[in-house]
Amino acid sequence: MNYRWSASGATPESSVSGTALRKFSAILFRAICFVRWEAELERLLRPKSIAAIGGLQASRVVEQCKLMGYQGDIWPVHPTRKEVEGLPAFASIADLPGSPDAAFIGVNRHLTIEIVKELRAKGCGGAICYASGFLEADETGGRLQTELKQAAGDMPVLGPNCYGLINYSDGALLWPDQQGGKRLEKGQKGVAIIAQSSNIAINFTMQRRGLPLAYILTAGNQAIVGTSEMALCILDDPAVSALGMYIEGFDSFESMEKLALKSRQLKKPVVIYKVGKSEHSQLSAMTHTASLAGSHDISGAFLKRCGFGQAESIPAFLETLKLLHVHGPLAGYRITSMSCSGGEASIIADAAAGRKVYFDALTGQQKAPLENVLGPLVKVANPLDYHTYCWGNREVMQAAYTAMLGNGFDMNYLILDFPHRERCDDREWMIAVDAYEAALKTTNARGAIVVGMPENISEDYAESFMQRGIVSLYGIDDALTATEIAVDIGVAWQQPQPLAVLKLSQLSANKKTLNEAEAKQQLLAHSVAVPTGERLVSAGQGKEISSRIGFPVVLKALGIAHKTEMNAVRLNLNSIDEVSEAAGALLVLSDTLYLERMVQSPVAELVVGVVRDAQFGLVLTIGSGGILVEILKDAQTLIIPVDRQQVEDSILSLKSAPLLQGYRGKPRADIRAAVDAIMAIQAYAVSQSASLVELDVNPLLLCAEGEGVFAADALIVLEENT
């Protein structure tokens, strides 16, 4: 066919006149079909031949491949140009001398579809669709994206609305812009990074943190190939040590679960930076790549369940990848720090306060070797200020470092900011690095040089240290965060692989809410303890029922979801007269009441809820009871199914956990019974998963250890079959 395009080739067309930008719903996003490409991406990711189709952007692809020293065939395609960047150009895809392993398509959105058809017919191994203006833009774009998928058929395509990929092992760049990464040496490993945002991906290539890159891939709209499918293929590459993913939404939960398993099997950790915490971020994701960010807490619970590390900033993301590249996942949170300054020791001690990582005190046996080396004027502690009297003395510094590193901690820091190379002499700093390297090798400990001020280390320093197996972490806070994330992955890998997330069908809009009595009967049938209670429809019945169940009692109006706000509860009724008076008042609110025995002197309260989520199935929330869950935002989110250990860990992770463990001489709560009850609530939710909309036990009253727990109130909403 005859092509017509502008010199820029890939400049997106403006939206059709009169068509407003759309906000695409979660339902539309979920309707996108993702084909599984894990086995078919090999040619695209590691091409022996590349077709660059278009004008300016395609010529840049050729330029970047030549700059990186790509050794495969490069076939520019342009209808009028005879050569591109010194290489002969072909007038059409039909004229190509063979079937390209990979193609970069740098033309407008309409022409992109025709070219995809021709590439597929040619037997191309896969393509990059650079053009924007598809599902993320307008209604016309949505239709074009559907046509694009049809045109691609069984040919994998990245995008549309993406820059493409960079393979730093082979020097293959399907990339229409400048980039700052370096090609890996033969046998060298690096990390792979997948990003939905092409601009963020460009920024990743420009990092000056000494992080070796093996791949950069962009996903754009994920119309055909999703981020997790790219990840599944990338992990197989021996040049990849770890994987980072910057994502705005999930493409396939099944693929993410497969990725979690593969990550463990290959011992290649995955760290994810997922945006979407704020409303603005979710809206940006929707308009950027038509992705549904989803609830941040639920997304985080899913990623934690999979054993993926989670970063919440770009610096933490990159520092974690550096740490994982050198050391892999870590086993525990015990850390040490060494510096020649008391100021740095104080700063890192403060920075670690309240974190999962912690400075364990040194025992007398651990202190002795350090005291022998450093002498009586140095107070040996963790963090350690070893003073400056030994600065520049390789023998003493190495002995001190070796003594500290030999204590069996999980991560060991040497805080060291470097001088300005153009103005200062760095030889004494290099003595410290040499001593630290020797100590690491002697002890086989895991360590990192932590630079307090990120600008106080040059890129060539960081790269040279990395080549020596020493990771340099930029900034004390980000160093601690990176360590925690690496430990989170290591701890997850020590646990059994979790069961798959439940796959649930979508429910109708018809719902029915069980009243408290009905809900409690349902839970009781699944071994959730509830206070003894009965219904009543008249004040006179209160005498007979209260005599049976005993005082004190609680009286509630049934059929009211939020009883406290409606003043529909009467607590601590201790006589028949009080019951009769309360019944008279509450019968105005409801024609049926519920009278039950009041639980005496509970130690603490929890809130336990289950909701049906369109993306993740059944989601369990465990929180502090009463108003604490709202004021302190004190809750843990889990994806069902969960095991007992996960439930107990979640309870003990609450801010209110000290109240459950005998705070200031008060009785310990029956945590074991609470775990039993929550597991029973989960069992009920799973048994009703075909129709359950939500379940809420608030509060779950915890009595003293050995005395059990009781569901004091319950709400269950089910789909109503019509």
Regions of the chain where pLDDT drops below 50: 1-35, 281-294
Between CA 81 and CA 90, with CA 85 as vertex, the angle to 5 degrees is 40
Asked if residue 559 and residue 631 are part of one domain, the reply reads no
**173, 45 Cβ separation under 8 angstroms:** no
Distance CA 148, CA 401 (A): 60
Q: Which of 471, 494, 517 is the last residue of a domain?
A: 494
**385, 345 Cβ separation under 8 angstroms:** yes
DSSP output for 448-505? EEEESSGGGS-HHHHHHHHHTT-EEEESHHHHHHHHHHHHHHHHHHHSPPPPPPP--P
Residue 110 lies in a domain: yes
Distance CA 307, CA 484 (A): 13
Distance CA 415, CA 477 (A): 12
**Contacting residues for 16 by C-beta, under 8 A, at least 6 apart:** 138, 140
Residue 424 lies in a domain: yes
Tally of structural domains, the chain: 4
Q: Which of 312, 342, 357 is the last residue of a domain?
A: 312
Asked if residue 623 and residue 556 are part of one domain, the reply reads no
**Contacting residues for 155 by C-beta, under 8 A, at least 6 apart:** 116, 119, 120, 124, 125, 126, 127
Asked if residue 188 and residue 54 are part of one domain, the reply reads yes
What DSSP element (H or E) covers 74?
strand 73-77
Distance CA 363, CA 28 (A): 60
Q: pLDDT by residue (tens digit) across 133-156?
A: 888 878 888 899 999 999 999 999
* pLDDT of res. 292: 38
Distance CA 374, CA 379 (A): 9
Residue 715 lies in a domain: yes
Distance CA 490, CA 308 (A): 10
Asked if residue 63 and residue 167 are part of one domain, the reply reads yes
* pLDDT of res. 633: 81
CATH number, domain containing residue 611: 3.30.470.20
**58, 164 Cβ separation under 8 angstroms:** no
Asked if residue 575 and residue 618 are part of one domain, the reply reads no
Distance CA 636, CA 376 (A): 48
* pLDDT of res. 279: 56
Asked if residue 139 and residue 68 are part of one domain, the reply reads yes
**Contacting residues for 153 by C-beta, under 8 A, at least 6 apart:** 120
**712, 699 Cβ separation under 8 angstroms:** yes
CATH number, domain containing residue 455: 3.40.50.261
Sequence letter at residue 203 = N
Asked if residue 267 and residue 190 are part of one domain, the reply reads yes
Between the alpha carbon of residue 388 and those of residues 391, 402, 409, 446, the distances in Å are 5, 17, 24, 24
Q: pLDDT by residue (tens digit) across 293-350?
A: 347 889 999 999 999 999 999 999 999 999 999 999 999 999 999 999 999 999 999 9
Residue 31 lies in a domain: no
Distance CA 567, CA 556 (A): 9
Q: Which structural domain range is residue 626 located in?
A: 604-719
Asked if residue 336 and residue 262 are part of one domain, the reply reads no
Asked if residue 384 and residue 275 are part of one domain, the reply reads no
Residue 6 lies in a domain: no
**What are the structure tokens assigned to 118, written together?**
């021709």
Asked if residue 461 and residue 340 are part of one domain, the reply reads yes
**What are the structure tokens assigned to 642, written together?**
């969960």
Residue 509 lies in a domain: no
Residue 384 lies in a domain: yes
Q: Which of 288, 312, 336 is the last residue of a domain?
A: 312
Residue 318 lies in a domain: no
* pLDDT of res. 37: 54
Asked if residue 230 and residue 143 are part of one domain, the reply reads yes
CATH number, domain containing residue 545: 3.30.1490.20
DSSP output for 416-444? -PPPPTTTS--HHHHHHHHHHHHHHHHHT
Asked if residue 476 and residue 618 are part of one domain, the reply reads no
**Strands 692-702 and 709-711, bridge-based pairing:** antiparallel
Interhelix angle 227-234/253-266, rounded to 10 degrees, is 20
